[in-house]
Amino acid sequence: MVALISVFLGALSFGCTVGSLCTDCWQVNSKGSVVLSMRCRGLWGECVWDKFVKIWTCDVYSSYLNPHPAAIVIARASLIMSAVAGAVAFLCLLFGCRYFDCFLGATAKRRCLYLSMAFYLLAGLLSCVGVIRYCMYVFSQHQYEVSLRIPGFPSFEYGYSLWVAIAGNLAAFLAAVTLYYETELLNIPGMGPPEEAAGDSPRTVCTYV
């Protein structure tokens, strides 16, 4: 049961991280002008919802090689590396899961679980760095607008893509915790360290005088 929970959390972590990169709505503004009803800003571009035409109009950045804010670059790199680490961790988890027959012995499966745990910790840390840096960037950029508190004044808030990335971050850490519980705390038959055979134990000879 714990192994299946680890697989579910690992898949959830990878899916949320990739989803946060693809949806690209890290900042949302629902207090725009009369024409614009909502605007989304992300790591790769900006999209606007026109309530009269009922369509999304997206505009990507002119070039990914142009100088961008450091927070955007760090968030991009961190989440991409987190997605790669999550994919590697999920493959190691499948190879080490006792419910999947990968023609590996107990020792090899245990090593795969250790590798998966390490990669999930790495994925969670990388995602955490990107999310925290981006939150600090948004707060520092729009704290003056928020402090004004003018009704109808455009002020950006955190979008759903950011919360999806946070969910993937938490799922990665939970997957690492469940893997540690599975490999170290649970006594799973066939997954423990090799034990000494009963026939090889030393015999005690008693001599009665």
Residues 6+ apart with CB under 8 A from 3: 97, 98, 99, 182
How many residues are given for the chain?
209
| Identity of the amino acid at 47 | C
Residues 6+ apart with CB under 8 A from 149: none
The model carries a pTM of: 0.76
Backbone angles phi, psi at 99, to 5 degrees: -85, -10
* pLDDT value of residue 18: 93
User: What is the C-alpha separation between 19 and 16, in angstroms, rounded?
Assistant: 5
Question: In this structure, how many other beta carbons lie within 10 angstroms of the beta carbon of residue 160?
Answer: 14
Give the end-to-end CA distance of the chain in Å, rounded to a whole number: 57
The domains of the chain are located at 2-190
Q: Distance between CA 122 and CA 86 in Å, rounded?
A: 8
Residues 2-190, CATH architecture? Up-down Bundle (1.20)
Rg (CA), the chain: 25
The pLDDT tens digits along the chain (209 residues) read: 777 888 899 999 999 999 998 888 888 875 554 445 678 888 888 887 777 777 777 777 655 556 677 888 889 899 999 999 999 999 988 888 877 776 667 788 888 889 999 999 999 999 999 999 988 888 877 766 656 665 555 567 788 899 999 999 999 999 999 988 888 765 554 454 444 444 444 444 444 44
